[in-house]
Amino acid sequence: MSQVSRRKFIFTAGVTAVGSAILHGCTSGGNNQTTTENNTPDTTTTPVSGDGPEVTTAKLGFIALTDSAPLIIAKEKGFFDKYGMTGVEILKQASWPVTRDNIELGSAGGGIDGAHILSPMPYLMTLGTITKSKQPLPMYLLARLNVNGQAISVSNTYKDLKVGLDSSPLKDTFAKAKADGKEVKCAVTFPGGTHDLWMRYWLAAGGIDPNKDVSVIPVPPPQMVANMKVGNMEAFCVGEPWNAQLVNQDIGFSALVTGELWKDHPEKALSLRKDWVDTNPKAAKALLMAVLEAQQWCDKPENIEEMCTIVSQDKWFKVPVDDIIGRSKGTIDFGNGRVEENFPQAMKFWKDNASYPFKSHDLWFLTEDIRWGYIPADTDTKALVDQVNREDLWKEAAKALSVPEAEIPTSTSRGVETFFDGTKFDPENPQAYLDGLKIKKI
């Protein structure tokens, strides 16, 4: 066994070992979440309808990532209260496996009703492929929380290779390390989740097979930088502020931000248990209205500094505001001499239809999960998207907020998507996309 493979990864309590099989390897026991007390301002309660929401409470989870800001801002700015949801709790989760487990428990079992979540996870939970019980847990995806805003970062060890959008400079170096008995680790946040798919796409586009040439391993977002610092990984893909923190600590550099890989790509989502939404449709609409209003607030340039200051607090991220604010404003210091100002593919919460959950995007996630063997190749992906994606509820909430018609998409498809390497995904023909990919598991 190599020296690196003997090293123990740095993990917090409540997260299980990362060395188990990748599809079912992230099962963690217990409901490792932190209750966050907040002092929200007095607001006038405006019920969704004459008799108000069925319940005024809900428990929603979040991970310490900048794209969870809409939930935190909805709480801090009193938007949940404004729409009658006066007892909403926003609870910090230790990892995506913990988020999953707590959703499976539900608030009645000491868990949560929904969460800020990786967009593919509600689908994997609905199928039952990742639940702790291995039983289907029907979920609804109600809104996209953001587009863009992630990055693939690499250890400073490889800075001289000039790695960027093209991962191929790493191919020979990784191959030599593997031949020498070293396990080459590329970290992601959850098997089959967004960061896993960005990492795999990037590696494969450069001729590196993520199933054969490297070890793709899951690590909770807040622990990425610490593990890179002690040499436990060569690269990682995660959301902010962790890439910026890596650069600020001069431990590594960002090879790319994911908006370069796929312009305005979908990322996190607001997802709730189907049974909770079906039982409390008015409350679900009220939650949606609050989150959508928070997304609009977060995207206003004059609010960015305040947003970063709020989420940086110990009760939320416990991260220096300097690690958050630069990339939130569109200033990307890649850590390799490249600095971009007013970067067009910075994180967006509302503008350019960032909040609307296009079904075509979820179809791409499922197609990629088929590509890498996370779900069966014969999965009826269109039917599954129609079951989980509740863009109709998003539209109801948007109209109730008097969102201008021009900001409400008229189609559930954004059309053909083009990736940085020229590959195209036509949601009308996912099989053609799969057939054209050279590196895949299926």
According to DSSP, the residues that pair with 147 across neighbouring strands are 266, 348
- pLDDT tens-digit map of 225-235: 999 999 999 99
- The percent of residues in the chain predicted with pLDDT above 90, rounded, is 88
Pairing state between β 185-188 and 268-273? unpaired
**Is the whole-model pTM more than 0.75?**
yes
- d(Cα 287, Cα 281) in Å, to the nearest integer? 10
Average pLDDT, the chain: 91
Residue 226 near residue 216, CB atoms below 8 Å? no
Radius of gyration of the chain (CA): 21
- pLDDT tens-digit map of 377-424: 999 999 999 999 999 999 999 999 999 999 999 999 999 999 999 999
Residue 253 near residue 235, CB atoms below 8 Å? no
Judged by DSSP in three states, 223 sits in: helix
What residues contact residue 62 under an 8 Å CB cut-off, 6+ apart? 68, 71, 72, 90, 91, 92, 93, 115, 116
- Polymer length of the chain: 442
Can you spell out the DSSP letters for 116-176? EEETTHHHHHHHTSS-TTSS---EEEEEE--BS-EEEEEEGGGGGGT-SS--THHHHHHHH
Judged by DSSP in three states, 333 sits in: strand
Can you spell out the DSSP letters for 371-412? HTTSS-TT--HHHHHHHHB-HHHHHHHHHHTT--GGGS-SSS
Pairing state between β 185-188 and 235-239? parallel
Judged by DSSP in three states, 217 sits in: strand
- pLDDT tens-digit map of 303-313: 999 999 999 99
